[in-house]
Structure 1
Amino acid sequence: MATRKTISSASKKSLLPWLGIAAIVLLLDQLSKIAITRLFHYGEIRPVTGFFNLVLVYNKGAAFSFLASESGWQRHVLTVVGICAALFILFLLKRHAGQRMFCWALALILGGALGNVIDRIAYGHVIDFLDVFVGNWHWPAFNLADSAICLGAGLFVLDELRRVNK
């Protein structure tokens, strides 16, 4: 019986750092979105460098504005998908809490997914403001949550490649 409690306590303790990372991502994402909406008008562009602008735009769709022109159903579907993904990530974090790179990836994705879910619930769209471009070609605007999701996906791929090479 004591062994089970020890294992359970160790599992809960090892989950906390990953939840902390996700919480930091979520906090930075939401604070940056609050700041940008208070400092910018919709569509306002402020050049930062020769390849990067700050611009306030709203994305009613998914990544790269996929489904953005739909009638509104996508808000609910993408919110449910984000919540389901977050629950699955929590399951994976609890199960694999000792695998550092894998859990870093999951924690970054979790924080980013929840950041965008909060936007969809609160505003009906995701607030994007980072605009990267080359010449006249612009990537779709994105935010810190999207950046964390991409970084997490990259770490996930790196972790899998590392695991395959062992």
Structure 2
Amino acid sequence: MLKRIGILSFILLNIGCDQISKDLVRKNIEPMQYVQLVNDNFILTNVENTGAMLGFGSDLSPILKMIFLQGLPLIVLLVLLARMLQKSNLNRWMVLAFTFVIGGGIGNLIDRIAYGSVTDFFQIKWGVFRTGIFNMADVSVTVGVLLLLFLVFRYRNLSI
């Protein structure tokens, strides 16, 4: 029971950080405004992304968007969450990684369902390195996936 509360708490923490940061951006940054936080290296903006990562799928019909950007991700996230809550012998780092992925995924799903788009607002530029515009949910998913990759390569017998 305590494990389940911990899992749900970490997921809610990820969702909360994402939704609060997006709400602050929507209320305080005009669409397409360009705010330099650290010179020209760390930029704050406000962009509504109607697709997935880097705008993928933004040209899909509304029904296909609903299927591929809302329905399927929701099913996958719920299956992952159910598996995590059911299993008792999961590696705690694996659980942490999945809480980041699930929390970030749900954060972006909330936007897609509530607003029809995802609010993105961070961009990093460092020399030739330049990211797309992203949000805290994207950071959560990325951290979770990187941790999962590390764990899979480090401990080959992990499963979920």
Aligned to 1:112: 104
Q: How many residues align?
A: 155
Q: How does 1:52-131 map to 2 (within 5 A)?
A: 52-77=42-67, 78-97=69-88, 98-131=90-123
Q: Is the 8 A contact 2:7 2:95 kept in 1?
A: yes
Distance in 2 of aligned mates of 1:112 and 1:131: 18
Give the TM-score taking structure 1 as reference length: 0.85
What are the ranges of 5 or more consecutive residues in structure 2 without an aligned counterpart?
Answer: none
Percent of pairs identical after alignment?
26
Q: How does 1:25-40 map to 2 (within 5 A)?
A: 25-40=14-29
Please, what is the CA RMSD of the aligned residues? 1.9
Q: 1:165 to 1:109 in 2, by over 3 A?
A: closer
Aligned to 2:30: 41
SS in 2 for 1:164: coil
Q: Please report how far the alpha carbon of residue 42 of structure 1 lies from its aligned counterpart in structure 2 after TM superposition.
A: 0.7
Q: Please report how far the alpha carbon of residue 165 of structure 1 lies from its aligned counterpart in structure 2 after TM superposition.
A: 8.3
- Larger displacement relative to structure 2 (31-40 or 96-105): 96-105
Distance in 2 of aligned mates of 1:137 and 1:74: 33
Q: Is the 8 A contact 1:61 1:74 kept in 2?
A: no
Q: 1:143 aligns with which of 135, 150, 155?
A: 135
Distance in 2 of aligned mates of 1:158 and 1:138: 24
What are the ranges of 5 or more consecutive residues in structure 1 without an aligned counterpart?
Answer: 1-11
Q: Please report how far the alpha carbon of residue 72 of structure 1 lies from its aligned counterpart in structure 2 after TM superposition.
A: 3.0
1:113 maps to a residue whose letter is G
Distance in 1 of aligned mates of 2:60 and 2:143: 28
2:72 maps to a residue whose letter is V
Distance in 1 of aligned mates of 2:141 and 2:118: 14
Q: Which has the larger radius of gyration?
A: 1
- How far does the alpha carbon of each residue in 1:65-101 deviate from its partner, in whole angstroms, 9 at most, with x for none? 1112334334312111221122111122123454201
Q: Please report how far the alpha carbon of residue 133 of structure 1 lies from its aligned counterpart in structure 2 after TM superposition.
A: 2.1
Q: Does 1:23 align with 2:12?
A: yes
Task: Give the structure with the larger helix fraction.
Answer: 1
